[in-house]
Structure 1
Amino acid sequence: MLNSQFLSAPPLKRGPRGGGLSLFLFCALAGAVLAAAQSQQPAAPKKATLVGSSTCQACHEEIYTAFQKNAHAAVDKDKRRGWEGKACESCHGPGSIHAESGDKKDIVNPARQAAAQADKMCLSCHLNQATHAGRIQGGHARSQVSCVSCHPVHKAEGSQMLLTKTGEINQQCASCHPQVWAQFQRPYKHRLPEGAMSCVDCHNPHGSFLPKSVRTVAANEPGCLKCHGNLGGPFTYEHSPVRLEGCTACHVPHGSANPRMLTRHEVRFVCLECHFNRPAATPEAAAPTLGGVPPALHDLRNPRYNNCTICHVKIHGSNVDRALMR
């Protein structure tokens, strides 16, 4: 049986004639506005594609010609990596958009990138090389110096991809380290200004296990021993600073006023930095001696003791004498 409430409900009223048409027009107008808004949105960015090195050559002839003389040009012939004929784009990325616009913003340029980003590009090929093993944690990397700060990848010749002459390498380093280069103007120094050696003979610019990126010879021995191996030991009787502190405990490798490139102008003052006078127990023992215990063998008031190495000739270490005299 039907509920009487529904039977007594008033009939529904119809709207005015033409209401359906108004609703249709409203929906149509809204759809048109939405379509127009969508059409005004920017299109998805066009993805660049590879165009080949010959396309780059059209505008960069000088760079392209120089590039053919260095080791990176081999990439242009490397079928294994899939970069055959596209050496430029192996570092700069796909170049189709840049080729059309000519805008520098449309191409990757490692020279304008942050060091970490530029290095990531280089290390994608060079990470496994032994000389680059410490690059990520090396001093240059921490100082935001990127690979391309030192390696002119377009114009350099040879396998090292560096400036070709020893003197030019030194000048490259000196451009960032002028205070170090100034030390080579002292009377006694390693012969870098003459071009007899370069900064990278002693320093590994990519990083090292030793401070100041000093190269290691073996077992973390400093690179000094590459040329001065006879002074590094091992000895039966060691001179502890040589083993514990290294060569720079006594020597200034870049330049000095001392012929032996010592940290002081006289050898005795270097020795006295460690072998200083001990406090004497009595006034009689207060003479300026080494040890201060009678009988005093090193009365520094006596000119005979102005040069320690007259007697202690094996100052780096000895196999026969504990006092390093022979």
Structure 2
Amino acid sequence: MFRLLHKSGCSTGILARVFCVAAMLLTPMAWGAQDKPAAPAPPAPDNKPAEFVGSGTCQACHEDIFNAFQKNPHQLVEKDKKRGFENNACESCHGRGSKHAESLSAADIRNPAKLKPAETDKICLTCHLNQPTHVGRLNSSHAKNQVSCVACHSVHKNGPNGLVARKTADINQLCANCHTDVWASFQKPYKHRVPEGAMSCVDCHNPHGSFLPRSIQTTNANEPGCFKCHGDKRGPFTYEHAPVRLEGCGACHQPHGSANPRMLSRPEVRFVCLECHSNLPGPTAPANGTIGTVPPGLHDLRSPRFQNCNLCHQKVHGSYVSRDFFK
């Protein structure tokens, strides 16, 4: 060993030998480390924006959805040049698909059904916001309660009732899945005949939102949709009944169903009237037909003859001839 050190030019001093041996042992390791190839650098992130690839590319993998889509109203997006979706109907909702087509990864494509409701709605409202039936969507009770468009609609497939989703072709049953308390009211004896199929929930409500409370449908005059059937109660009248005009039909009626005749909110007509007409002046007040205290002037409600208000006041929805709503 020492001869080897001497031949290599190392001094025979003890300290020098120690350093020389260390140098001979470590130098080959350093040479080996230099000879070992460096690890490849991680690939640079692909910052190139995705591009449209066309619905034909989507068809290659999603043929069943593509074929069903051809019978769907959304297929018209294929001809939408205004928004740049021509021949790109799939990508109008799912986003540009070039990266997904290359990687086949679900992470590289947008799935509206898995987004937050507000994000899903934003996609749908790209086209639907300006439709007359959708103008109240952003402030609707459905939107405020995180119910997205795809909770009720099937985007790809058609059914007997258009794009209604959730394994049912019955719009009423779709609504009943969430509005169980309302559906229970339809089991009462006096009701609108929704369960029998004579009416639909959307005859009275606009599920996309309305300017009226409870998403009530409006007529062309922005009046409650009740007047589509009950036109004789519409007015305008010479003498309006304030609760009817200001609060609407729900001031006296329970439209989904009631245990009381005429779907009234109280068992008898007089009890409905007294909700408003019981806090007015008593016996000394003039008998002008607006008094309902017990006993009121000339209207002693203890007497049977005064216990049926609409025996005299028949035009309670409004009158053209009498401020007291006489016939």
TM over 0.5: yes
Distance 1:71 1:159, change over 3 A: farther
Q: How many angstroms apart in 2 are the aligned matches of 1:316 and 1:214?
A: 19
Which residue of 2 is the match for residue 314 of structure 1?
A: 315
Q: How many angstroms apart in 2 are the aligned matches of 1:304 and 1:281?
A: 17
- Aligned with residue 128 of structure 1, among 127, 130, 141: 130
Q: How many angstroms apart in 2 are the aligned matches of 1:194 and 1:278?
A: 43
Superposed, which structure 2 residues align to 1:156-305 within 5 Å?
156=158, 161-162=163-164, 168-276=170-278, 290-291=292-293, 296-305=297-306
% identity of equivalent residues: 64
Give the TM-score of the pair, scaled to structure 2.
Answer: 0.77
Q: Which amino acid aligns with 1:137?
A: N
Q: Helix, strand or coil for the counterpart of 2:186?
A: helix
Q: How many angstroms apart in 2 are the aligned matches of 1:50 and 1:44?
A: 16
Distance 1:157 1:83, change over 3 A: farther
Q: How many angstroms apart in 2 are the aligned matches of 1:245 and 1:79?
A: 46
Shift of 1:112: 0.8
Shift of 1:249: 0.5
Q: Which amino acid aligns with 2:321?
A: V
Give the TM-score of the pair, scaled to structure 1.
Answer: 0.77
Kindly provide the CA deviation profile for residues 75-102 of structure 1, in whole angstroms up to 9, marking residues without a partner as x: 2244554434332122111223333444
Q: Helix, strand or coil for the counterpart of 1:39?
A: coil
Q: Which amino acid aligns with 2:74?
A: H
Q: How many angstroms apart in 1 are the aligned matches of 2:159 and 2:282?
A: 66
Aligned residues: 286
Q: Which amino acid aligns with 1:301?
A: R
Shift of 1:270: 0.6
Which residue of 2 is the match for residue 23 of structure 1?
A: none
Q: How many angstroms apart in 2 are the aligned matches of 1:165 and 1:44?
A: 41
Which residue of 1 is the match for residue 57 of structure 2?
A: 55
Contact 2:79–2:86 under 8 Å retained in 1: yes
Q: Helix, strand or coil for the counterpart of 1:40?
A: coil
Unaligned residue ranges in structure 2 (runs of 5+): 1-33, 285-290
Contact 2:140–2:215 under 8 Å retained in 1: yes
Q: Helix, strand or coil for the counterpart of 1:136?
A: helix
Superposed, which structure 2 residues align to 1:129-144 within 5 Å?
129-144=131-146
Contact 2:161–2:169 under 8 Å retained in 1: no
Shift of 1:304: 2.6
Which residue of 1 is the match for residue 14 of structure 2?
A: none
